[in-house]
Structure formats: C-alpha cells, structure tokens
Structure 1
Amino acid sequence: MAVLWILVPLSLLLEIISATSLGVVSTEGGMVEGQNLLLGYQRSMDVFRGIPFADIPGRFEKPARHPGWSGILKTTQYRDKCLQLNPFMTSVSGSEDCLYLNIWVPHIGSVASNLPVMVWIYGGAFMFGDSMGTNFLDNYLYSGQEIADRGNVIVVTLGYRVGTLGFLSAGDSTLPGNYGLWDQQAAIAWVHRNIRSFGGDPNNITIFGESAGGAGVSFQTITPHNKGLIRRAISQSGVSLCPWAVNRNPRRFAEEVALKVNCPTDDRMAACLKMTDPKVLTMAGSIPLSSSAENPFVHNLVLSPVIDGDFLPDEPSSLFHNAADIDYMAGANDMDGHFFASFDVPSINSQLLVTPVDDVKRLLAAFTKEKGTPGIENGFSTYTLDWGSNPSSETIKKTVVAIETDYMFLIPTQAALYLHASNAGSGRTYSYLFSEPNRLGIISKPWLGADHADDLQYVFGKPFSTPLGYWPKHRDLSGYMIAYWTNFAKTGDPNRGDLSVVPTSWPLFTSNRHEFIEINSKTDGSFVREKLRLRFVNFWTSVLPNLPIMYSE
C-alpha cells in the first residue's frame, strides 16, 4: 500500500512537470523553435520571439517575402526595433532589419488547437514603438502572456517601419508612402498563412492596437488588400478618421527632409533619398517638440499615412464598405487628450497656476481655423455651456483636456463607429469609453481621468504580472478587459466566450442606438449608456462642417 501511495503522487508530479509544447514548428520560411514555459498544473505556453515575417525591406519599398532559412531557427530573443528617433529627437536607434513578430501559444490541458488569434499593432505617432513595448524588470509591456493564458487565445505582436523610413511620401509614385502600413499588412497575411502550424485558427484573426496602432487597425480593416484575412478588429484611442492619421500634403515635409540631407527637391529627390544613410534620414524626420494653444502639438505629427491610390484608394470615410463583415470594437480614454494638452497649455498641470480662459479660445481657434470666428464662437459656447458665471480653475483645465480629447480621439472614434455600423453586413459594432483614473494623477491632479495609453497596462494584464504595483481593484479591471477583449476575439461578442464573468452585458452599437459601455474598476449595469458626449459630437460632426470656410491653406 505504501508503494501505491508513493506512485500516485509521483505520476501526478510527472504530469505537472511535463509541460505541453509544440516543439519545432514548420513555417513557410523554415523550422522554428521557441521557449516553453510551465505556468501551472496543466498550463504551459510556447513563446516564439523574433520570427521573420518578411525580408529586410528595401528602402521606401513594400515588404517582400522572406527567402527562408535552413535548419531550425531558435526564436528565443526579441529582435531589433525598426530605426527610429528617441522621444527627445536627439538620437537614432534600431535597425532596418526589423520585420519580425512574436507569438504566445497557450496550452491549457492539451496542445493548442484551432485557437482564436489576436494580432497587436503598437502605437507611437507613426514615429516610435516596437513589438515588445517598454521593459520594466524584464517585464515587457506588450508581452502577450497574460492575455494568452487567461483568455486561451494566441497573441502575436509585430514590428513595422516608423518615422521617415515608414511614412515619408512625395505624394506621387516616386515615393508613395505607407510602407509601415504595408509591413503591418504583410504580418497579418503571414499569420493567416502560417498560424495553423502554431495551433491557431487562420479564419479567426482579430487585430487590435492603440493610438497610431488603433488607427493602423482601422486602416487595415478598410483597405481592399486584406479581404478575407481579418475577422475582427479593436481600435483603442485611434482610428483612420483622426486628424493626425492622414497627411494630405506629404510633399511639403518630404522636401523639408530632402533639404536637410542635401538632396534636390525636383524629380531627382526620391532617388537621392534612397541612397542617403538610413540613420541620417531618420534623424531628418524629427518634428518640433514645442507647441502652444495657437499651434497645438497635434499639428506637428506629419509623418503619417497618405491616400496613395493603392493601400488607401480613397478618403478613409469612403472605404468603410470594405469592413462590412468585420466585427469592430472601438473606444477612447475619457482624458486621452491630457498628454497632448500638457504640451499646448502647460498650466493645466500646475496646482498653483490658473489656466486662462483665453487658452480655451486659442485652442478652439487652432482646431477650427478654416471656419474663422464663427467656429471659435460656436465651439466656445458648446464647451462652456455648464460653466456658470464663475468657473473654477479645475473646470477650465478639464475643458482644455476635453477639447483635445474630443478633437484628437473621441469624436473621430464615434464617427468611425457610426460609419462601421451604417456600412455593416455581418459585422457587429461595439463602443466603449475607458475611464479608470490615472494612478499618478491622484497625488497631483485629483481631477485627472484616464490619460492616453492608460488602458494598455490593464489590457496586457500588468496588475497580474507585477501585482505589487497595483490594488485589487486594478486586478478586477484587468480581468474585465481581458475577458471582454478575448471573448470578442472568440465570438464577436464581448459578453460570450470562455471568460463569461464580465461585470455587465455590453450592448451593440447600431445606427439608431448609439449605446456604449464605460469601463473602469467600478463598472456595472449603470455604466451602460447611450449617445456618448452627444452635444460635442454634434458640434464637431454637424455644426462645424456646415459653417462656411473663411480660410484655407
């Protein structure tokens, strides 16, 4: 009997220790082998870091398929980010050899099979960013481990060209632009062709991204080049309709870059730029970091996608029929504009300084420039309707943030949701507002809600992977978001999936019922609402466009 007693625990122990793994995986380029992680009883994960999805790209050219390799490629190290400036515009890092992706494959009980796939596109104003995100104590922001493990989905993160090498355009066929968007598209196509070998379902791919990545997601759903590749999509704080998402006069900046690197600005410009050192080219794509209420920071973001007649054959607003059968979820953070407003109106971050009412008017003037005085007056009356006769300093600061949030993120997202719903075939539409207060703002700015990028830590499960930095309510919130996001990836419905424990039912957004959910650590049925910021949506999408144009560039 004693021997039997020993044998039973030993067999259990062996089962716990022997992690399930894909082992060596065959892809179109060759064999790859990742790292296997044992996460718990009958829970393990294969992580593949740095699989090439395209060849080293030719300068200012679309990506080409990778020629492949012999033997087994050990994919256990993240690869270089694409060449880019640092946030201070003082130095360049990264490599032109940067078109790689990372894959997290969960094995829960048995080897992964036919799992939904979630492909992440990072943000960074089309100028910065990489497939891993910031690193704190070897914990990368965009690690897919928590989403994959908790949601039982495969997570993929990808690299794409940014800055000059990703988006410089002459506005013609000599330098068409959108190279970074073509990189994203090449990665999505690679996943569609290869993910079955990793236990994924190629017919159930969800792309998701934030800020410029959210706009990238939106562009990937409306381009005609992704027909049949994408099943669902999630845009966080960025869509193709954002004012910073399309540059309608790219030639001007291309000529500025050419002059900086001693290239001519005539028909020899493209050939000269292609022969210029890539680090010099990247450095020449720096933008001004100074801004003011009269000249807001958003107007400096000029390295962005263009309507090239190919990837984007028309204005984004005219291309939503291409997303008719893609399920789409989109939203913004309630104070997404705070980060940018702090450049334009620095007084909003001071407890001692009063933000002048004139700064509200100057900001509105900059965002409604072509409409002249009527634009400013209509905007001012819209935003000050609830001020009363003597608005507090906090009220004025929050108004500045609201104007930037609405203009840059929230209103374009509502417009994209409406266009998706009105063009929908089988595709479903969902709208959200993220409003968990910024964790650092509690100390110095108690009025601060969710700032730009505050949602990322919860979507990627940081309250679970770095528990000492968070309260239990933050783990609740992270659990809610992972459940909604992965349920949506599985079924097209954020309420239905393996993680059915969601705080409340999230209704569809339809052309005649603009319902949305407000997501924070307190979310319950009372946070399901309708017609988000209706007065402000009406101003930006109806009142302002119908005013006569007074000035044009």
Structure 2
Amino acid sequence: MEKLKILLAVVLSLGTASAASLGVVQTEGGSVQGINVPLGLFRSVDVFKGIPFAAKPGTFEKPQPHPGWEGVLKATKFAQRCSQISMFQTSSFGSEDCLYLNIWVPQGRQVSSDLPVMIWFYGGGFIVGGSMGPNFLNNYLYSGQAIADKGGVIVVSVAYRVGTLGFLSTGDSRLPGNYGLWDQHAAIAWVNRNIRSFGGDPSNITIFGESAGGASVSFQTLSPHNKGLFKRAISQSGVAFCPWAMNRNPLKTAEEVAEKVGCPIDDTLVACLKSIDAATLVMAAPSIKMGSPDSPGVTNLVLAPVVDGDFLPDQPANLFHNAADIDYLSGVNNMDGHLFTTKDISSIGDKNGETSVEDVKRLLAAYTKEKGQAGFEVAFAEYSSNWGSAPTQTTIKKAAVDIGTDFIFLVPAQTAIYLHAANARSGRTFSYLLSEPSLMAGPGKPYNDWVGTDHADDLQYVFGKPFTTPKAYGDRHRDLSGYIIAYWTNFARTGNPNKGNMLVPVTWPEFTSTAHQFLEINAKMNESSVGQEMRLRFVRLWTSTIPNLQSHGVTDAQ
C-alpha cells in the first residue's frame, strides 16, 4: 500500500511537471504577457499575439515608433489584418492600425535563452494576407508552434500593409511607395532590439516568407537599410525578379486609382489621394481580372514594390552586394505555376477537358510579347521539343504548367540564386525544388494525377500541419514536414541546413558559382535527390536567349 502511495505521488508530480515560462516580458513599449501552451513533459510554448511594433501608420507614410503603453499588455489575441480588399473584390476589411507581430517561444525545464529567431512574412500578391494566415481546420496556418517546438527556434510572424495602402506609388518622391516593405523593415528592427527579452539571440535572425512574402524577403536582403539586422534569409516561391514582384510603371497605376476616387491627374494628385479615406483607397485598387491565355492573371498584379531610390536604391540585379554576407536559401515548388495556369487556361484543370495547342501558344505568346514573334517561336520550339507528332493531353497540359512555373517562379528564383552566389562573401547559398505530389491529385480528387507541388502547397509542411492536424495527413506527409522543419531550422541555427539540432535525410550541398547544385525535396528522399543545374535549358531560354533577341517593333518603354 505504501509503495502504491509513493508511486501515485510520483505520477501526480510528473503530471504537473510543467515547462518553464517567461511570464511578463519587458519590451521597449511596455510590459507584455502572453499565454503558455503545455505540449508535453517539460515542453511548452509561450505565445504572444498582437504586440505592436510600430504606431498606427499615416496614409502613404513610413511607419513610426509606437508610443508605448501603461500597465501590462495582454498579448493573447491576433490583431486585425491590415486593410485589404475581400476575395471577391466587393468589399474591404481590416484596420489601418495593423502593425503588430506574434511570437512563439519554445520552453523546456529552464527558461530559454539565446535561441535562433525566424521572422515570417506572408504571401498574397502584395494585395492580401495576414500574420496569422488563413484559419485551417480550426488552427491558423501560420501558427509558429510546431516549428518553435520541433526546431527549438523562436518564430515571429509580422503584419505589413498591402494593396493600395502598402504599395501605391507615383514612381517619384511625391509618393515613393514600398510602405509595406518599410513596415517589414520596422518589424525586423523591432525584433532585433527586443527579442533578447523573449530568449532570442538578436545576432542570429533569419527572415523567411512565401510567394509575395518570399519576394519581400529577397527585397529585404537587397536593401541597404537592413545592414546588420539579420543574418539569413529563406525565399519560398518568390524573389525580387518574379514578373509580378515589381511595378515598372507605377505612375499609370496611381493615375488609375486617382481616377477611381475622383482625384485630378495634376500637381494636387498626391495631396488629394492622402485626403481620401482608407476604405475608399483600398477599394480603388486595380481589379484583379481572371486570366485568359492572352492576358495571364499574373500580369494584373500591379500593386507591388518599386525602385524608389531609398529602400531600393537601384534595380534589384545591382543590389546583391548588400546580401554578400547573408546566408540565402531559396527554391520553388515543381508546379508552382499550376494555380495560375489553370486560371488562364481553364481546361488544364478539368480532368476531362481538352486543352488545345493553340491555347498553350497564346499563353506563351503573352509571356514573350516584349520580343514579338521571334521570342514566341524560340520559346515554343524549346517547350515542344519532345512532343513528337501527336502530343497527348497530359503532355500538352504539363507543358503549359511548366511554362507558367518557369516564367512566374522558377527562372526568377534561379536568377536570384545565381546572383547571390556570384556576389557572396561570407554568405552561403542553397537551392531547392519541392516535388511532393499534390494532396488534391489522383482518382476521386479534383486534380489530374500528374500534378506535383502547387503554389502554396509548401506552407502546410513548413508549419507542421501534418503534426498538428494529423487526421488530414498520412505518415509520408509527416516525414516530409519533419524534413523541411529540420532543414529550415538547422539553417536558421547555423547557416547550414544539414547542421543543427535536427537530423536530415540527405545532405544538401551548397549552391556555388561552379557547382549549381540543388536539393529535390519530397517524402521519398535519397542520394539521387541532389541535382545539378535546375532546368538549365529553360533558365538560359528566359534569361539569355529571349532577352538577347532584337525587339520587333516593340519598345522597351515598359
């Protein structure tokens, strides 16, 4: 009986053996208190939601420091998203007072200290998005809990202005633009100044993001304003060179917005725009039209960063000296273009639909139109070189998806990777291709069975959804998610995805200017997962062959 009592006492004490917790944390603006989420024996995560990193921003103005607060801020609820247009472009929602961030801190027996820090920037085409992400099976997509717990890193997710309020620009000093990029920079600087109080190491910060968030990461590495603020960067399916990531004719967009809200196109344009209320400005964004083969949807994304002479003092290709000491890991999904191409040519997504060669030609012609007929012919010859005389529907559809993937994501990403490696001093470069078959593909599912990793498919694995919502996934998806979290957090810890707290399935070689190696990531990885010169023929086609053609009556005044 006595033994039983002792045993019971031990069991009960184990049950209450909770991990350490930060409690109230002092930041530059005042005290904050989050909540502690127990995850197991001596394991928990401290979660802080809705900490302001800047004041409510003025319309078309850079973010300013937050004035601070009295007492203890209860950081337990996500702040509202930044003002943005609804999915159907019929209304707006969100708040102008939106510059807040969220923090996840893993805890063990002792309160954590000196942990690597990872700051997340969401995607959404620079038009939409929120720091918590979409609500996914009753948990938010961008919850940093799984990454923090498994990888032993602090995760921070950050809000930034989007759409008209984040990126409208006249292309000159009157309305320079890039307000959303300045918000991100302000958040990085805040984390650098305050993260030590949360157990983080300010000298070991990694920024990471996907799609427009990946392009944002790319821009942050190129801006001279971030010198010394972070050490590493990860761009998933998005870099500064993506055709949608920069607006080359911002004045045209600003004048379109001005006309919609009734502002004159003269010297009073900017003063008038600044006097319009935020909701009206948000709704005045150029509408995102559904794509067609002749006018691909991705060409409609015009509210985007610009070369402003300040945050981006020059064209991105000329700014890689600023990233020379930053470790950079970047890659794409093998069918990143699927989401977009199926909108431009709807028959591709229809399992029984017939996609005509003519439609594929029209899409390719739209992407090569700056170089006219010559550009189209060179590109079509390359993409149809293995078709034979009677290409199957699968061949035709896959070619269209490849064209979209290459043009919108893969070739721009490879361009950034080549330039990073060529300009690097201490910074290392790593390149990947994610090729896990889509969860939506196969018999009885909506996608064709050949569909690989679509745009944004990587997010669920990076954020550990196969662990937090296990019923929605199989063991292979947990394997894959574990691999990605291991590579990403090892990279954040040491600058090398192979070295850190977590074991990896395959050694990922560095990308150098002499050895253009990359890692193909999926659930079934082995030695043959290391590749060389990713889609080199097509990278050369888009970066060298087509640009070097003479333009035929098409001016480069874009």
**Normalization by structure 2: what TM-score?**
0.97
Deviation at 1:86, TM superposition (A): 1.3
Q: Which position in structure 1 is the counterpart of 2:545?
A: 543
**Structure 2 counterpart of 1:511, one-letter code:** S
Deviation at 1:19, TM superposition (A): 3.3
* Residue 252 (structure 1) aligned with residue 255 (structure 2): no
CA displacement, residues 196-243 of structure 1 (integer Å, 9 cap, x when unaligned) = 000000000000000000000000001000000110000000001111
| Separation (CA, whole Å) in 2 of partners of 1:524 and 1:394 | 27
Contact 1:221/1:323 (8 A) holds in 2: yes
Aligned pairs for 1:376-387 within 5 A: 376-387=376-387
Q: Which position in structure 1 is the counterpart of 2:119?
A: 119
Contact 1:89/1:286 (8 A) holds in 2: no
| Residue aligned with 1:201, SS | strand
Deviation at 1:123, TM superposition (A): 0.2
| Separation (CA, whole Å) in 1 of partners of 2:424 and 2:289 | 40
Q: Which position in structure 2 is the counterpart of 1:310?
A: 310
CA displacement, residues 479-517 of structure 1 (integer Å, 9 cap, x when unaligned) = 0000000000000000010102x1100000000111001
Contact 2:208/2:234 (8 A) holds in 1: yes
| Residue aligned with 1:26, SS | strand
Aligned length: 552
Q: Which position in structure 2 is the counterpart of 1:474?
A: 477
* Counterpart among 532, 535, 543 of residue 533 in structure 1: 535
Structure 1: any 5+ residue segments left out of the alignment?
none
Q: Which position in structure 2 is the counterpart of 1:102?
A: 102
Contact 1:85/1:286 (8 A) holds in 2: no
CA displacement, residues 108-146 of structure 1 (integer Å, 9 cap, x when unaligned) = 232110000000000000000000001134300000000
Deviation at 1:8, TM superposition (A): 8.2
CA displacement, residues 292-317 of structure 1 (integer Å, 9 cap, x when unaligned) = 11111111000000000000000001
* Counterpart among 503, 516, 519 of residue 518 in structure 2: 516
**Structure 2 counterpart of 1:396, one-letter code:** I
* Counterpart among 447, 450, 453 of residue 450 in structure 1: 453
**Structure 1 counterpart of 2:128, one-letter code:** F
Deviation at 1:90, TM superposition (A): 1.0
Q: Which position in structure 1 is the counterpart of 2:464?
A: 461
| Separation (CA, whole Å) in 2 of partners of 1:517 and 1:438 | 19
CA displacement, residues 328-377 of structure 1 (integer Å, 9 cap, x when unaligned) = 00000000011111111111012222211112221121111121111011
* Counterpart among 496, 499, 521 of residue 496 in structure 1: 499
Aligned pairs for 1:373-412 within 5 A: 373-412=373-412
Aligned pairs for 1:421-436 within 5 A: 421-436=421-436
Q: Residues 14 and 349 of structure 1: is their aligned pair in 2 closer, same or farther, counting only changes over 3 Å?
A: closer
* Residue 263 (structure 1) aligned with residue 266 (structure 2): no
Aligned pairs for 1:101-500 within 5 A: 101-442=101-442, 443=445, 444-500=447-503
**Structure 1 counterpart of 2:483, one-letter code:** Y
| Separation (CA, whole Å) in 2 of partners of 1:159 and 1:228 | 22
Deviation at 1:389, TM superposition (A): 1.3
Q: Which position in structure 2 is the counterpart of 1:31?
A: 31
| Separation (CA, whole Å) in 2 of partners of 1:173 and 1:475 | 49
Deviation at 1:5, TM superposition (A): 5.7
Q: Which position in structure 2 is the counterpart of 1:6?
A: 6
Contact 1:411/1:540 (8 A) holds in 2: yes
Q: Residues 361 and 11 of structure 1: is their aligned pair in 2 closer, same or farther, counting only changes over 3 Å?
A: closer
| Separation (CA, whole Å) in 1 of partners of 2:397 and 2:308 | 39
* Residue 73 (structure 1) aligned with residue 76 (structure 2): no
| Separation (CA, whole Å) in 1 of partners of 2:119 and 2:521 | 22
| Residue aligned with 2:78, SS | coil
CA displacement, residues 374-425 of structure 1 (integer Å, 9 cap, x when unaligned) = 1011000110111111110111011111001100100000000000000000
Contact 1:16/1:42 (8 A) holds in 2: no
Contact 1:513/1:530 (8 A) holds in 2: yes
**Superposition RMSD in Å:** 1.3
**Structure 2 counterpart of 1:349, one-letter code:** G
**Normalization by structure 1: what TM-score?**
0.98
Structure 2: any 5+ residue segments left out of the alignment?
none
CA displacement, residues 221-272 of structure 1 (integer Å, 9 cap, x when unaligned) = 0100000011000000000111111111100011010010111111111111
Deviation at 1:441, TM superposition (A): 2.0
| Separation (CA, whole Å) in 2 of partners of 1:428 and 1:108 | 31
**Structure 2 counterpart of 1:479, one-letter code:** G
Deviation at 1:4, TM superposition (A): 9.6
* Residue 89 (structure 1) aligned with residue 92 (structure 2): no
| Separation (CA, whole Å) in 1 of partners of 2:84 and 2:402 | 31
Deviation at 1:549, TM superposition (A): 1.6
The worse-fitting range, judged by mean Cα deviation, of 3-12 and 146-155 is 3-12
Contact 2:243/2:408 (8 A) holds in 1: yes
| Separation (CA, whole Å) in 2 of partners of 1:9 and 1:20 | 21
| Residue aligned with 2:302, SS | coil
| Residue aligned with 1:441, SS | coil
Contact 2:337/2:408 (8 A) holds in 1: yes
**Structure 1 counterpart of 2:46, one-letter code:** D
Contact 2:164/2:282 (8 A) holds in 1: yes
Contact 1:127/1:303 (8 A) holds in 2: yes
| Residue aligned with 1:182, SS | helix
| Separation (CA, whole Å) in 2 of partners of 1:56 and 1:144 | 25
| Residue aligned with 2:182, SS | helix
The worse-fitting range, judged by mean Cα deviation, of 432-441 and 474-483 is 432-441
| Residue aligned with 2:542, SS | helix
| Separation (CA, whole Å) in 1 of partners of 2:317 and 2:296 | 24
Which stretches of structure 1, 4 residues or more, deviate above 4 A after TM superposition? none
Contact 2:331/2:413 (8 A) holds in 1: yes
| Separation (CA, whole Å) in 2 of partners of 1:303 and 1:94 | 18
| Separation (CA, whole Å) in 2 of partners of 1:405 and 1:37 | 40
The worse-fitting range, judged by mean Cα deviation, of 213-222 and 363-372 is 363-372
| Residue aligned with 1:219, SS | helix
| Separation (CA, whole Å) in 1 of partners of 2:475 and 2:224 | 44
Contact 2:19/2:110 (8 A) holds in 1: no
The worse-fitting range, judged by mean Cα deviation, of 37-46 and 98-107 is 37-46
